[in-house]
A and B are shown apart, each in its own frame.
Chain A
Amino acid sequence: MKEYRKLTDIQHDLKAGDITCAALVSAYLERIDQNQHLNAFIEVFAEEALEKAKALDEKIQAGKAGRLAGLIVGLKDNVAYEGHELTASSKILQGFQSLFSATVTQNLLNEDAIIIGRTNCDEFAMGSSNETSFYGSVKNPLDVSRVPGGSSGGSAAAVAANLCHASIGTDTGGSIRQPAAYCGIYGMKPTYGRVSRHGLVAFASSFDQAGPFARSLEDLALMTEIISGSDEFDATASERPVPNMQIPAETGKKRFAIIKEVRNSEGLHPEIKAVFERKIESLLAAGHVVEEVSFPYIDYCIPTYYVLTTAEASSNLSRYNGVTYGYRYENAKDLEEMYKKTRSLGFGREVKRRIMLGTFVLSEGYYDAYYSKAQKVRRVLRDSMEEILKEYDVVLLPSTPSFPFQFGAKSTDPIEMYLEDIFTAAANLTGHPAISVPAGTASNQLPMGMQLIGRLFDEPGLFAAASLLN
């Protein structure tokens, strides 16, 4: 099986009769089998995917196939798929079978995508290295001694290793863009409200967005368009019509903003900075506007993010009590003991740490000092980003300050791990769409990613600008 970058190439070969969906699925299943050491998938839907592929081959023959025919995808294990297990990589959801499909999943299925399995992730999407998963960490396919990033580490590794053509992840503070950068592929976080959250395992509801990982910008745009749209099951999903997101052949001249505080950031690795500077030079040489602006809040993003997301998580995760679904501690004498033992044994350390911090910032006497304060700072951040994007089409910055790290390297001090998201969390705090585009490999053979933040609900403009980085 040849290695495809674009769905249009797969669809071309399907139409020409050079390949079939069944052969495609078989090839991916074989590669999944050969790459089990990566631990990218928690479960593979082998038989089901093959059956669906055969049915789809007939549909293609009949000329009735959907827009994603031939797209074999992995689904992060926090996105619901009816009749399939859904655990958010947590012990507390072991054995849980989803009764319905997420709107994201349904939108993919409606266009004939085939879901090949569910991918590993950090427990409840809380982590930046995929090391908090109950099912063990995922290895970076480009260097198996290093993390793939997180929390959507399995989704990123699966696409990078060509175990499926594309995948779905979720991004609460960088959980799509950081692993995309660490695995050398494309990743997209749509505008908050662009994609329904119905059927996503909730972590921090005012931040969470689902989005795709892909091997080309074209596929990323097509998948984003297809999963987008209003939804009667999610009132925060925008009623705005979904625009065509196809990459235009001619973008015209674009205006790029460069954040001075990022450019001069001490923590930015010199080789990543060098690539960043080269991108700026080539954009300027091509006649685009690239100017420095000030966003003096980069160092406030992670503190704001951790106050608000832990608060939302402590509330969202209160539903896991062992009663209606999931793991239950069986030998409790009374109900309260059952709740406490179930939750203490069912959640991992990082999740409990965040529930505790979230409970603290919401507790009496501290609410105003922490939670309200962070909400106010969030408005300052959003207003400042909006000001910048009035003058510029996009903001260009590196996706991460450094490279994928060795397992365990950032596990001693939680704050060090939290700072992994220093360049990505801003877009979740402000709601803006953001994309990570691969930017080649450094002298250490490790990949780098460049990030673009676009205007609210202007995904087409963001994709157009991203095509200039290719």
Chain B
Amino acid sequence: MKVDQNTVDRLAHLARLEFNADEKQQLVGEMNNMLAFVEKLNELDTDSVAPLVYLSDSENVFREDEPKPWITHQEALQNAAKKDTDFIRVPKVIDQSGE
């Protein structure tokens, strides 16, 4: 068993997700099942195989680095849930209400 409740808590924090107790319990089961399923890959001897990282055979695709307008300031704000005339607004980085 590679995954327990602590693993789920740690991974959830890394992925910025939250789960309730039932969901955590379910995730422990599902993730262990998946990891057992992918164990199959260990049947293959890949000691002398290099990882395949890029599917493309092209290298160093360059273009000129020319500044040009892409989207306007207003367009950049358009889809934000909360904003003022110039900036996207978010809650305080650190909650100080409890101090």
Contacts and interface: CB of A to CB of B under 8 A. Distances in A.
A452 to B, nearest CB: 20
Contacts of B1: none
Contacts of A347: 17
Interface string B81-95: 110000010111111
Contacts of B30: 353, 414
B21 interface: no
A interface majority secondary structure: helix
A343 interface: yes
Interface in B12-33: 12, 14-19, 27, 30-31, 33
A333 B15 contact: no
A13 interface: no
Contact of B80 (A323, A340, A413): A323
Given A193-B56, A376-B46, A360 B79 contact: no
A352 B56 CA distance: 29
B interface majority secondary structure: loop
B80 to A, nearest CB: 6
A192 B58 CA distance: 12
A189 B3 CA distance: 36
Contact of B95 (A299, A333, A431): A333
B81 A322 contact: yes
Contacts of A335: 90-93
A382 B53 CA distance: 12
A78 interface: no
B18 A380 contact: no
Interface residues of B, number: 54
B34 A415 contact: yes
Nearest to A370: B38
A370 B35 CA distance: 9
Point out which of B39, B43, B51, B97 has the most chain A C-beta atoms below 10 A from its C-beta: B51
Contacts of B61: 235, 239
B95 to A, nearest CB: 4
Contacts of A414: 30, 33-34
A339 B15 CA distance: 10
Nearest to B12: A356
A357 B34 contact: yes
A357 B42 CA distance: 18
Contacts of B56: 192-193, 236, 238
A75 to B, nearest CB: 19
B99 interface: no
Given A356-B27, A356-B31, A357-B34, A373 B81 contact: no
Given A206-B54, A299-B40, A379-B50, A340 B16 contact: yes
A8 to B, nearest CB: 34
Interface stretch (A41-49, A243-251, A264-272, A302-310): A302-310
A352 B31 CA distance: 12
A377 interface: yes
A307 B40 contact: no
Contacts of B34: 306, 357, 414-415
Contacts of A338: 90-91
Nearest to B79: A325
B64 to A, nearest CB: 10
Given A332-B91, A376-B46, A415-B34, A356 B52 contact: no
Interface of A: 95-97, 99-100, 192-193, 206, 232, 235-236, 238-239, 299-300, 302-304, 306-307, 314, 318, 321-328, 330, 332-341, 343-344, 347, 352-353, 355-357, 359-360, 363, 366, 370, 372-380, 382, 413-415, 431
6 contacts: A323-B88, A326-B81, A333-B92, A338-B91, A379-B51, A380-B46
Closest 9 CB pairs of A and B: A375-B51, A325-B79, A328-B81, A379-B52, A376-B46, A334-B95, A303-B38, A333-B95, A235-B61
